[in-house]
Amino acid sequence: EDQVTQSPEALRLQEGESSSLNCSYTVSGLRGLFWYRQDPGKGPEFLFTLYSAGEEKEKERLKATLTKKESFLHITAPKPEDSATYLCAAQLSGNTPLVFGKGTRLSVIA
Amino acid sequence: EAQVTQNPRYLITVTGKKLTVTCSQNMNHEYMSWYRQDPGLGLRQIYYSMNVEVTDKGDVPEGYKVSRKEKRNFPLILESPSPNQTSLYFCASSPQGIGGYTFGSGTRLTVV
């Protein structure tokens, strides 16, 4: 069964304390790996798409990377406004639906 | 502004009373999808549509219906809601089912 597992479930950081979130996947024929940010009571907001191992994408304090088995979302010098739940999702070959992980709930304390 | 619009945002209903949650997108996307989100279970797909008049079941389709008569609209229908359908529902769209989805703001449904 295709699965996407995120760790940790929750992460608490001090402002400025860099860290990484992990997303491991066990899908064959990965077409794309996607990262989203979700604020409480709101819909997920698309952040990045990664298509092949070795690929990296950056946006402000966030950088996403991809290997053959997992993806990392690196957060550099986070600020309180980065607090949110971060979701990753994998898509198989073809136009198959996204398989979402359960998310990592990030809290950044000032 | 490019967006996916869901209505209503909040809904409380009684068991068995038919309801429809509307979803509309203004980006001319071909692909649309419905998800439900529950604590500890994450986002699970209910139904999706690759184009007008084409719909397919997702992971948890039981108790739901959808239709895609127009490209921009993808309503979710609960013919006889039950308490286990209490959840947070999201509609999403993308150009061709590939890549990042644009999600709506969500509909919080409570069935009593």
Q: What's the confidence (pLDDT) of residue A95?
A: 65
Residue of B nearest to A101 (CA): B42
Average pLDDT of the segment spanning A20-41 = 91
Contact call for A44 and B103, based on CB within 8 A: yes
Which of chain B's residues have a Cβ under 8 Å away from the Cβ of A100? 42-44
Contact B62, B46 (CB under 8 A): no
> pLDDT per position in chain B (112 positions), as tens?
889 999 999 999 999 999 999 999 999 999 999 999 999 888 999 999 999 999 999 999 999 999 999 999 999 999 999 999 999 999 999 987 776 899 999 999 999 9
CB–CB contacts below 8 A, A to B: 55
Chain A CB within 8 Å of residue B52 CB: no
Q: What's the confidence (pLDDT) of residue A28?
A: 74
Q: What is the DSSP string of B38-67?
A: ETTTEEEEEEEEEETTEEEE-S--TT-EE-
Is pLDDT at A30 greater than 70 in this prediction? yes
